[in-house]
Amino acid sequence: MEKQLEALEKSFCEELKHTGKAEDIEPMRVKYLGRKGALTSILRQMGSLSPEERPRIGALSNKLKNFMEQALAGRLEELQRASQAGGIDVTLPGRAPRRGGVHIINTVISELQDIFLGLGFTVASGPEVEDDYHNFEALNIPEHHPARDMQDTFYFDKGILLRTHTSPVQIRVMEKSGLPVRIIAPGKVYRCDSDVSHTPMFHQIEGLWVEEGITFAHLKGVLYEFIHRLFGYDVPLRFRPSFFSFTEPSAEVDIGCIMCRGKGCRVCKNSGWMEILGSGMVDPAVYRYVGIDPEKVTGFAFGLGIERIAMLKYGIGDIRMFYENDVRFLSQFA
């Protein structure tokens, strides 16, 4: 029996050494120390021993049992610690944390601001929750004017609304700051519209320059320089007559399609041109709302959608991609 105990101990130690999971310990305890385990089977032979041998074999058996119990408990603790640590091999090279980046819309806003700051403009801001007066009436869009139907406005009670453009900032600046005024007003605007080229919330930059002697030539000069700094000096530009309630005369500005270089494609509807912004000389009626004499000053205003600029600059076909938070898309511009 002594040799059986020695063989059992050797077998136990070898098997314990190769256990790889905490879940392996309990089956091994049952195998060696359970009611039908290997050690119990050997102890059942104690009756065949002489009275002189029984005390010695009993002591050896108890010693082996204690050894097995302590060895199993120690191995279980070791395996559990390794499991809680995630089985990390600290000698392996680490994984660098994923780095974030500035959102593409904020990147484009910064680029546009830098261009206009270089042209002598300053940045102004105003509230996103506006009143009807600043958003419409003071911009020569009175109640029942058909231009209001173009805005798809989010209204609250008592003439309060989410601004549909950043033009109200121009009114507030002229009311408070006096002349001359030479500002851009970037910010979020809101309209009830959603498809591949429209979202309920988007961004605009509106510009305003008002002082004595400002002409349409100044407007053209500023926009020519802005477009060329943004898209390159080889991009052609044209002005088309248009209508806006708060400018007269008004013009929309087109650039040569940057996708096909004027040859005609799906993006420009085979015209070779792409509309990029609206502009015009400030209507004299707007000056009267802010207490400025239209006989003494002139000025121009313009407005453009930042998402549209980003889509053209980076060849993005769906405006909704900016706001779906797809890391695969956003990480391209980080």
Q: Is 111 found in the same domain as 32?
A: no
**Is position 91 within any domain?**
no
CB 6 within 8 A of CB 44: no
180 pLDDT band, cuts 50/70/90, is very high
Domain end residue (candidates: 84, 118, 137): 84
Structure token digits, residue 332: 């391209």
Judge if 109 and 80 occupy the same domain.
no
Of the candidates 220, 123, 121, the residue with the CA atom closest to the CA atom of residue 180: 121
Query: Where does the pLDDT of residue 97 fall: very low under 50, low under 70, confident under 90, or very high at 90 and above?
Result: confident
Give the chain's mean pLDDT. Answer: 88
Q: Considering the domain boundaries, does residue 94 fall inside one?
A: no
Six-digit token string for 2: 């002594």
| Distance from the Cα of residue 165 to its chain's centroid | 23
Q: In angstroms, rounded to a whole number, what is the distance separating the alpha carbons of residues 289 and 112? A: 29
pLDDT at position 7: 86
- On whether both 138 and 21 belong to a single domain, the answer is no
Query: Which of 49, 84, 119 lies at the terminal end of a domain, its last residue?
Result: 84
Q: Convert the pLDDT of each residue in 280-299 to its tens digit.
A: 999 999 999 999 999 999 99
Q: Give me the DSSP letters along 244-272.
A: ETTEEEEEEEEEE-TTTTTS--TTTTTSS
Q: Is 89 within the bounds of a domain? A: no
Do 61 and 109 fall within a single domain? no
| Residue 96 placed within a domain | no
The pLDDT of residue 58 is: 82
Same structural domain for residues 68 and 125?
no
Task: Please indicate, yes or no, if residue 92 is contained in any of the structural domains.
Answer: no
Same domain for 124 and 230, yes or no, is yes
| DSSP calls for 61-81 | HHHHHHHHHHHHHHHHHHHHH
Mean pLDDT of the region 125-130:
95
Whichever domain contains 205, its CATH number is 3.30.930.10
Tally of structural domains, the chain = 2
**Domain assignment present for 224:** yes
Non-local (6+) Cβ contacts of 273 within 8 A are 238, 254, 255, 256, 257, 262
Q: Are residues 67 and 112 in the same domain?
A: no
Q: Which domain holds residue 172?
A: 104-333
Among the ranges given (16-20, 43-47, 171-175, 273-277), the one the predictor scored with the smallest mean pLDDT: 43-47
Do 50 and 108 sit in the same domain of this protein? Answer: no
Residue 87 has pLDDT above 60, yes or no: no
Q: What is the pLDDT of residue 88?
A: 64
Residue 226 lies in a domain: yes
Comparing 11-15, 149-153, 242-246, which segment has the lowest mean pLDDT? 149-153
- 90 occurs within a structural domain: no
Same domain as 121, residue 10: no
Q: Which of 45-49, 56-60, 286-290, 304-308 has the lowest mean pLDDT?
A: 45-49
